[in-house]
Amino acid sequence: MDIKQPHNWNLSCAQARDLQNALARKVRSSAIKRPPKTVAGIDCAFSKDKTRIGAIIVVLEYQTLKIIETVRAVAEVGFPYISGLLSFREAPVCVQAAKRLKITPDIFLIDGQGIAHPRRLGLASHLGLFLDKPTVGCAKSRLIGKFQPPPTEKGSYSPLTDKNEIIGAVLRTRTNVKPLFVSTGHKCTLDDAIKITLACTPKYRLPEPTRLAHQMITRLKPEI
């Protein structure tokens, strides 16, 4: 697939924060008009000594959730661990993996934040600008924001807010199971993000694309 290159990666922490603020202004919230045919999940893992990182992308048919393509990439870690700047550690290897895709997915689900981020540019939003496709952040935990716990039934959700702005949804993907923190990444609305996440969680807490990507990257860890 064609990958955009909105910036280089050789940045200081201060430059990275400034860049996040600039890139956040380019993130777009727009409704997905056509029913998707394919959906991809992305997940990353680090080597034991944290010097190398691997990424897996799994592409599934949207209706059946059957795997139709898998790609991976491994790279040296080029950015330090700093809260709020994690996409600068993970996005480069995700981009490398995406360049190996033969199929261009209609939507990407990413184990991380979208705009539910202090500068409104989590990994899902950051990658969305590179991939130029709808991206959804499906995080297992909250980074920022306030919320009331949603009802316990699957499909229930409550708004995640920060400074009087709705930045995501706290979504129950299984009844009586801890919710996910879903946010728009790029080129979709929060309603789209909720609908897509629920469509991809027929059985487990995590959406199938990111759940399968996590399983595969876990098996890959000894090779990273």
DSSP letter, residue 146: B
pLDDT computed for residue 8 by the predictor = 75
Query: For the whole model, what pTM was predicted?
Result: 0.94
pLDDT tens per residue across span 67-98:
999 999 999 999 999 999 999 999 999 999 99
Per-residue pLDDT band at 42 (split at 50, 70, 90) = very high
Average pLDDT, the chain: 95
Round to whole Å and give the CA distance between 46 and 29.
31
**Widest distance between CA atoms in the chain:** 45
pLDDT tens per residue across span 148-191:
999 999 999 999 999 999 999 999 999 999 999 999 999 999 99
Q: For residues 125 and 84, is the Cβ–Cβ distance under 8 A? A: no
pLDDT computed for residue 10 by the predictor = 83
Q: What percent of the chain has pLDDT over 90?
A: 88
Per-residue pLDDT band at 5 (split at 50, 70, 90) = confident
* Environment class of 220 (CB within 10 Å of its CB; exposed 0-12, middle 13-18, buried 19+): middle
Pick the CATH number of 36-223 from 3.40.50.150, 3.30.2170.10, 3.30.460.10, 3.30.360.10: 3.30.2170.10
Q: What is the distance in angstroms between the CA of the first residue and the CA of the last residue of the chain?
A: 24
pLDDT tens per residue across span 180-219:
999 999 999 999 999 999 999 999 999 999 999 999 999 9
Round to whole Å and give the CA distance between 95 and 99.
6
pLDDT computed for residue 7 by the predictor = 77
Residue type, 20: Q
Query: 111-138 as b/e, with b when 16 or more CB fall inside 10 Å?
Result: bbbbbbbbbbbbbbbbbbbbbebbbbbb
CB neighbourhood size of 41 (10 A): 29
**Above 90 in pLDDT, residue 221?**
no
